[in-house]
Amino acid sequence: MEQVSPMAVPHDSHETSYLLPPNSKDWEGHGIPDFVYGQEELVLEGIQWPRDAPGLPEDTVPPSRFDSVLCSAWRQRVELGLFRYRLGELQTQTLPGAVGFVAQLNVERGAQRRRPQSISSVKQAFDPALFNFNKIRPGEVLFRLLREPDLPGALQQEDILVMINVSPLEWGHVLLVPEPTRGLPQRLLPGALRAGVEAVLLSSHPGFRVGFNSLGGLASVNHLHLHGYYLAHRLPVEGAPSEPLDPGGHLHLLQAVPAPGFLFYTSGPGPDLEALIGRVCRATDYLTDREIAHNLFVTRGAPPGKTSPSSALTGVRVILWARKSSFGVKEGEAFNVALCELAGHLPVKTSQDFSSLTEAAALALIQDCLLPPAQAEEVRAALVALIAQDEQ
């Protein structure tokens, strides 16, 4: 069955420059179109799941310009055969139990995705001889994401390319890649994180999420990139309760989700968002410098504290998980644990595992990837101390 986009996309005149010419010989000279956005396009309020969620919000949420451009350009690349497989409508189920795991059967990704690179260190240097995003085919890049210079914190303009993930997890699966020619290793930088958070705010779809896998945290390419994709389902991390870890309330411990994670929250752009980006990147720098793998997930969500799954999506949650390093893919498992699995989205590789997977089995796979308790406590104390330094 053909996959339906997360929203009805109007085909109006402003989209045409984001589409490739019909003849592939013309793609090389087509150039990369710019998607320039300003403060007014960052959608802060009124984004909610429809009452009958899970489902597609197309009837209740008009697409933003970002959604229209991304979905129409992505759909065209599907029609042009630029993906490794044609993503059908994915069989989806919410696993019975308290967590609310969203499991999806994605056999093609399990079988056809590019083999992960050989990684031996969270701090591994970029190697131009290996596959990287300077080696992709013309046509895989959708557009260049550019902030208007008047946005807060825009002292240094980041050049972010938005390109298709040729082995998609879900509809609209893209990569956000800071200028590829810089040859940046897979280590989170403030400009890349800012682009990821603002991409979530540019979408009017509550299910557009962004994430980052470190080396050792199942990043398969050592070239700085974030993932973005649509998933028309609530996830446990959006409204899970948390407890504050620092007096200023800037760092929280997320509870009652697949794995305890560090929660950062912002209600929108401005100084609050810039402070969050600084805190998160200091935390990921700490982990990287100590060879501790990690995953990060950005989603609209509820403020920290005693929240519930139905809580309003009033801001953006950034969740960071420190975890055991895993170099290479475990072939025999139902799923591999990275950014979306820790958030409660489980892309499962085989129909047998999809039909037999239980919440207990999923939790066991995820918890096997977490740090031992003593090391987890050490990381927690160190990050609390890092945040405290900010307050001085």
**Among all residues, which ones are annotated catalytic?**
225
What is the C-alpha to C-alpha distance for residues 299 and 295, in angstroms, rounded to an integer? Answer: 14
Across 327-359, b (16+ Cβ under 10 Å) vs e yields beeeeeebbbbbbbbbbbbbbbbeeebbeebeb
Vertex 205, ends 201 and 207: CA angle to 5°?
Answer: 95
Residue 330: both structure tokens together: 């475990």
For 306, phi then psi, to 5°, come to -85, 80
Residue 52: both structure tokens together: 């009958």
Q: What is the chain's Cα-based Rg?
A: 20
Residue with tokens 């967590």: 99
What is the C-alpha to C-alpha distance for residues 238 and 101, in angstroms, rounded to an integer? Answer: 12
Question: For residue 186, how many other CB atoms are within 10 A of its CB?
Answer: 25
> Are 193 and 305 within 8 A, CB to CB?
no
What is the C-alpha to C-alpha distance for residues 336 and 369, in angstroms, rounded to an integer? Answer: 10
> Are 251 and 262 within 8 A, CB to CB?
yes
What is the C-alpha to C-alpha distance for residues 246 and 391, in angstroms, rounded to an integer? Answer: 10
